[in-house]
Structure 1
């Protein structure tokens, strides 16, 4: 059996050789997030074997695991200690790994209330585009001075480095969880969400679809029960299954064959006024749109609303919202510093990457 050190050496050696040969590399593990972003071609660099929990300190709320570790394995270890990944990462498949989850920067329904995947990254160990193993951050919250390069890896889709290890802050599981359902149209739901989020209630998810809005409360039993009585509404049976279906795009809405767009806008933004069907997540900050409208129309509307649009499923190119020139220049400088030959997941985010 290949040891972890040997496998790390193999991976760094492979990247160093690719750097010398100017050979593009396609980083791969479970493949559950391969549908996200642009298509990237290159020589396969399989990191699946680099797996396992390196350390876990429940009392310190910190876990470090190798990038190829199955996400289900991590969540099971946390659940055994009544803890969780508070950003509720979607798996999008049975083969989801920690590295793919952080590289894609995906977060579930709790994201606006507890934080994003990036917010929980304490440190990373990576291989840069020269084949050098580097460590950023650490295993405590107040560890970083200067540029927080570890968190840059979240959402970079492997374009800045090959993730080896990730240290994460974890949180206790809530003692109580209740989901309340209300009959409301989209504008009514958005107004209700805005009103509720001003209150000191333990809200951890807010979603609307087809005339019904849903508020999830989670935390101490007394806080959840008090807020539930004040809010009213109808209690949803088996709410864990409901939120899992939303998180994993398994609910009926997401089974439609039309292109799926994710729009990020201000929470109080009114209905999108774009052809198609839409649901509201993250208390209004995330809108999922099923539409046959052309990409330019959708992105123009997103710009008008002060947000941006990502083609989650479909043929639009680019898949990610084009960056302003100043921001693109910053991205290119960071890319040049960490991957000067541009060999890591070339083109996965933008054609210039």
Structure 2
């Protein structure tokens, strides 16, 4: 499949803006659809809009590979794949259609299917990146077996634009499941681990498990027979499938709470220890959304006790957005940034003040 009339290669402008910034030492604040201002620190720099660099570069449904420019909306990509019975397996947020492919890669955010299908970086095959020296480089390829530069493609996932400007991404896609059903069960949070283990041991095709207000929301996907059997085993009431889109895009009433929003990422086996605020469990408990006014130090200490870390998804003067890194890890990140962005022009301090 070739680019349509909505495609536009604006890489020449992007390269020129990076070259100017590199020459003057002025910082750039990379912005796509601006759907994800959080998490992250406020960047002091010149706005660099990637939305004009958009469109599907290539798409071969038989090879399960798509390549899109950074300014392409996730919603547009989802719609194209759906026409061919395919999907982005990690279920990235769309955020009212504002999210872009570049932002999807830069933040690395995944939806409810993430623990069952994989994360963003698991499906990125290659990318094109403008470096801090205004070089437009290609890393990786369009097939899994091509591993040349593949590590750089994975590094930019979740880097929040601090390493370079991603202009194009090649991704592996998968067929949509033949059948999908969602169920709602009244269940105490303490019973979730045991119930999920039993379903996993029974081979039930669970691809979503979220708990809120004493209710467990479950999604099962696969062949018609597998899904029908899973429904009989799980029981409960029918749940509108829109719940998963609203959870993915943070549109549930839970997220409207005015208190700061934290994401607590913990191992799947972490105990369901109470946290200081209102909690929504996703990923079977491995991702815990927390609405809380508690001090950042308290929340992060609780996350560390559970073997995980806490990320702030709201602006708050008394807290850094990302969990502090060990000194050795921070030095490694600084070295990587110096290699790709030696003048420090891309989203400086977006993640950490020292980056």
- TM-score tier by shorter-chain length is over 0.9
- Corresponding residue for 2:172? 169
TM-score by length of 1: 0.95
Residue 311 of structure 2 corresponds to 310
Q: For 1:253, what is the secondary structure of its paired residue?
A: helix
Aligned pair 1:23/2:26, yes or no? yes
C-alpha separation in 2, matches of 1:350 and 1:283: 29
Separation (CA, whole Å) in 2 of partners of 1:123 and 1:146: 8
Cα offset, 1:59, TM superposition: 0.5
Which consecutive segments of 4 or more residues in structure 1 shift more than 6 A? none
Pick which of 189-198 and 276-285 moved more. Answer: 189-198
RMSD over aligned Cα atoms: 1.7
CA pair 244-3 structure 1, distance change in 2 beyond 3 A: closer
Matched with 1:281 is 282
Q: Are the counterparts in 1 of residues 141 and 148 from structure 2 also a CA contact under 8 Å?
A: no
- Does structure 1 conserve the Cα–Cα contact (< 8 Å) formed by 2:127 and 2:169? yes
- Are residues 1:56 and 2:55 paired? no
Q: Contact between 1:27 and 1:344, CA under 8 Å: does it hold in 2?
A: yes
| Aligned residues of 1:37 and 1:348 also touching (Cα < 8 A) | yes
Aligned partner of 2:49 in structure 1 is: 46
Q: Which residue of 2 aligns with 1:349?
A: 351
Task: Give secondary structure in 1 for the equivalent of 2:122.
Answer: helix
Q: Deviations along 1:123-149, whole A, 9 cap, x unmatched?
A: 000101111001000100121146610
Quick one: which of 326, 329, 337 aligns to 1:327?
A: 329
Deviations 1:291-323 (A, max 9, x none): 110000000111111100001124053101011
Distance 2:188 2:42 in 1: 38
CA contact (8 A) 1:194 1:283 kept: no
Structure 1 residue aligned with 2:218: 215
Match for 2:195 among 192, 196, 200?
192
What is the match of residue 269 of structure 2?
Answer: 268
Q: Determine if contact 1:159/1:346 at 8 Å carries over to the other structure.
A: yes
CA contact under 8 A between 1:90 and 1:247: conserved in structure 2? yes
Q: SS at 2:181's partner residue? A: strand
Note the alpha carbon deviations across 1:53-86, whole angstroms, 9 max, x for none: 0000000000001000111111111111111111
Conservation of the 8 A alpha-carbon contact between 1:260 and 1:314: no
Whole-angstrom distance in 2 between the partners of 1:162 and 1:330: 20
Ranges in structure 1 where 5+ consecutive residues have no aligned partner = none
| TM-score, normalisation: structure 2 | 0.95
The runs of 5 or more residues in structure 2 that have no matched partner are none
Q: Deviation at 1:198?
A: 3.2
2:233 corresponds to which residue? Answer: 230
Matched-pair contact (CA < 8 Å) for 1:194–1:268 = no
- Does the 8 A contact of 1:122 with 1:167 survive in 2? yes
Distance 1:351 1:181 in 2: 43
* Larger CA deviation: 189-198 vs 291-300: 189-198
Cα pair 1:191 1:268 within 8 Å, conserved? no
In 2 relative to 1, CA 180–256 (structure 1 residues): closer, same or farther, beyond 3 Å? Answer: same
**1:9-20 superposed matches below 5 A:** 9-20=12-23
- The whole-number CA distance in structure 2 between the counterparts of 1:45 and 1:260 is 27
In the alignment, does 2:71 pair up with 1:71? no
Map 1:108-187 onto structure 2 (within 5 A). 108-145=111-148, 148-187=151-190
SS in 2 for 1:65: strand
What SS does the corresponding residue of 2:349 show, helix, strand or coil? Answer: coil
